Structure formats: C-alpha cells, structure tokens
Amino acid sequence: MRRFLALLVQSLFRLALLLALVVLAAPAGADVSRPAPGVFKCEGTHGVPVYQGTPCPPERQLRDLVADPASVSVIEWHLPDVSPTTAAPPRERAARAPPRPSPAKAPGDPAARRHVRAGMSEGEVLAKLGAPDAASAKHGRRARWTYLPAPGDPQTVTTVRFEDGRVTGVERAVVR
C-alpha cells in the first residue's frame, strides 16, 4: 500500500510539472525574439497592404511600425502679408443683352414628368426632367430616382424606377 501511495504521489508531482511546463511554454511557431504588440504592415492578397496587430510572415512583411515608425510631414502654411497698395480701378464690363428664351422646354420642367414612360433610358429621363432631387444607390441592376414637388407641379412627388438602365415604372404621389 505504501508503495502504491508513493507511486501515486510521484505520478501526481510529474503531472503537475508537465502541466506547468505546457502552460508557461511559448506557443509553437511564435517569434519570441521580439514582443508581439504593435502594428505591422503586411502584404495581403494581390499585393494590397494589410495592417494588423500580429507579426507578418517573413515573406509578407512590408513594415514593422513599432521598430520603424512612419515619418510625418508637416507643411507650414502662412497667409501672405497683404499690404494696402494702390490698385487699378476695376474695368467695367459691357452690358450684355438678356438671354433669349428658348422655344424648347427647359430640362426639369415639371409638366414633362407626366410623359416619362416605361422603356425610356436614364439619359432620356435626364434630358427630359434633369437631375433627380434624390437617387438611390444602384443595387445591382436597379435604381430609383425621386423628383420632389416643383413650382409648376407643387403637390406631386414623382418616383422613377429603373432596371438595367431602362424605366420600369413611374409613380406620381400627391402630397399635401
């Protein structure tokens, strides 16, 4: 029985030493020659730089920003001294005749909103209505342009929906 207890104590002691060694040992493959905290610039996929908090593989390291910090350039900017000088009097421009009204309707005419129809291209809508007041980001092939009420059409919001650059629907909503 004593022999069994001695063997048990000896095995438990060895197990404790082995456990302490495993816990305190550095992970396999870790670079223990320098501390890991910092910022590292590595070469990512397709040569795009990647910044990370762990060291890069040796063939991918572009810069260790802890050991080799980036230099910062500061350019001073001063406003020039403006001393009062005698300036030449401004030249007067010849009076211009007022512009002639064009017989065609100007882009963005609210009355033209009623004539947008399915199948028109984005360019045709731009030429007829002008730039939209709000536009959704293109989600793949779809887009939505919104025209807010205008003086010639003060109570109507027009929404034009596009798919593949062509009008698929026009909604006119009266707001009060």
pLDDT along the chain (176 residues), means of 10: 86 83 63 62 85 84 75 68 66 67 51 82 86 80 86 82 90 82
User: Is 3 part of a structural domain of the chain?
Assistant: no
User: Is 98 part of a structural domain of the chain?
Assistant: no
Sheet bearing 134-135, strands edge to edge: 134-135, 142-147, 156-163, 166-174
Its domain, for residue 72, covers 35-76
Q: Which two structure tokens, joined as six digits, stand for 137?
A: 């980001």
User: What is the count of structural domains for the chain?
Assistant: 2
Question: Could you tell me if 69 and 114 lie in one domain?
Answer: no
User: Is 15 part of a structural domain of the chain?
Assistant: no
Question: Could you tell me if 122 and 168 lie in one domain?
Answer: yes
**Cβ(159)–Cβ(171) below 8 Å:** yes
Whether the full predicted model's pTM is greater than 0.75, yes or no, is: no
User: Is 86 part of a structural domain of the chain?
Assistant: no
User: Is 97 part of a structural domain of the chain?
Assistant: no
